[in-house]
Structure 1
Amino acid sequence: MRNEFYYLRDAGGDERDYIILVGNTQGLSPEGQYEICGMILDFVEGYGARRIFTLGGLATGQPVEKARVYGAATSMELVEDLKEHGVIMRSADGGIIGASGLLLGMGRLRGMDGVCLMGETPGYFIDAEAARALLEVLLEMTKLEVDLEKLEERAEETKKMISKAQQMEQEMIERMNLKPGEEDLRYIG
């Protein structure tokens, strides 16, 4: 398990300081989730953090033509800001699970505002196109500049993977449509 912090000083159009957390996993139990999120908040609070942005995916289980960005916020002011950036507000029909939601709730209890941005994705694989969509919104909101060229390349690879998977699915469906009494002799098991 790894959580790494990066620090940007006087960055972006607003010349603000940013602490960026990159992690590869989350706590495996509810207690672990709370403990890790508490430690993260202790750390950033020690540097005077006042606003939290969390990022994640919103899995649809269906192919996504163009990834949209959904969001949630801890104040009406931030809700309006998200709407101005074209973010679709997440309805009350589902919560934000894991660290993305927990950091917002626990941060709010400490007086920090929070935003969660979620890229719409089928949810089957790491989705570079959904990541690009939410990063574009985040970069607009923070007035930071980041080169997304490598992410664009990855998004193209993702599109090819989706296309290939859809083609394989269609071929399987066609193979399954045998006429009564016919045997599919292509499978040897």
Structure 2
Amino acid sequence: MGIIYHNKPEMKSPILLAAWPGIGNVGIITLATLRDQLGAGVLADIEPEEFFYPAGVNIKNGVQQELRFPLSRFYYQQWCGQDIVIFMGDEQPADGQNTYAQGSRAYNMANRVLDVAEELGCQRIITFGAAVTMTHHKIKPKVWAVANNKKFLNTIQERMPAELKSSLAGKNFVANISGLNGLLLGVANKRNMSAACLMGEIPDYLSHLPLVYPHASRSTLEALRYVIRISVDLFRMDESVKEVDEMIADMYSRFPELVRQKLDNRFHTNENRGISDDDEKWLKENINDFFKKDHNQNEHGS
């Protein structure tokens, strides 16, 4: 078991773009949008049995057809003179009941993806995810870029316009990227492969919800456009952004009035400048309480 190739075109210095499900499904939406725009075709699949339990069994006319597993699939297209390989995983392999990749299965999956990247001659790797920040849903999400070496990070920072760069980039703190979107960078570093992760900002109060956030995906796709210098139509995402905006507005209206007022201060004071640490601590506690109560009410049907 290993890799099943459906096609193997000749490539010149391809770049690998990879994503798995995560908060707001920011990475998956980014690459699904890009794949569809490029008309990328199926390149290869990672055989699933080593990493996943069956998600179900397909039945036709009362007869079992096949076991259904999550896909771990590579796509390919040449665009604007750049060979682009896109990898998308339906699910993150994990030991136990964890949502995000963890343990030997995750590490082996990261290595399997990089085996393909090396075989195809990929020189650079970019993954995608969400950066949970104290922002507001009416503020255009910015993008936080991290990399496994300074040279690649400098290249990304030089190409990305200032208005897209997250303020997180200038802060001196230690952070963690959950799951394979981050793990892939570390495993790539062991192979001396340059890798980075582009993370679109998502408001902290939305990270509690099982909600997609195409707003952040639109920003990461815009950042990618500058980083690898390709042409991408961002307006195709506007309809999905509008649909999610309506759901966010409904959820936001259910917050207590004082919570809404303090959150709106983030928007009115230019992306959180002027918001006190005490107010942010108060918001965190009250938002957590709100979602706990909301969860309990839904469980009891009241």
For Structure 1 versus Structure 2, the TM-score category normalised by the shorter chain is 0.7 to 0.9
User: For residues 192 and 128 of structure 2, what CA distance do their matches in structure 1 show?
Assistant: 20
| Structure 1 residue corresponding to 2:140, chosen from 66, 72, 78 | 66
CA distance in 2, matches of 1:91, 1:39: 33
Q: Displacement, 1:61? A: 7.0
Say yes or no: does 1:103 pair with 2:184. yes
Question: TM-score if structure 1 supplies the norm length?
Answer: 0.81
Structure 2 gap ranges (5+): 1-69, 96-102, 260-300
- Aligned residue in 1 for 2:194: 113
Cα shift readout 1:90-143 (whole Å, capped 9, x = no counterpart): 754211121111111111211210110000113232100000001100111112
Matched, 1:147 2:248: no
1:163 deviates by 1.4
Q: What secondary structure sits across from 1:83 in the alignment?
A: helix
Matching residue of 1:168: 254
The residue matched to 1:66 in structure 2 has which SS? coil
1:32 and 2:105 aligned: yes
For 1:4-83, list aligned pairs within 5 A: 4-9=73-78, 11-12=79-80, 15-29=81-95, 30-60=103-133, 63-64=136-137, 65-83=139-157
> Is the 8 Å Cα contact of residues 50 and 111 (structure 1) preserved in structure 2?
no
Q: Provide the rounded CA distance (Å) in 2 between the counterparts of 1:150 and 1:46.
A: 33
CA, structure 1 residues 26+61, in 2 after alignment: closer, same or farther (shift >3 Å)?
farther
Query: Percent same amino acid among aligned pairs?
Result: 29
1:149 Cα deviation from its structure 2 partner: 3.0
Q: Which amino acid aligns with 1:98?
A: G
Flag the 1:126–1:170 CA change in 2: closer, same or farther, 3 A.
Answer: same
Aligned residues: 173
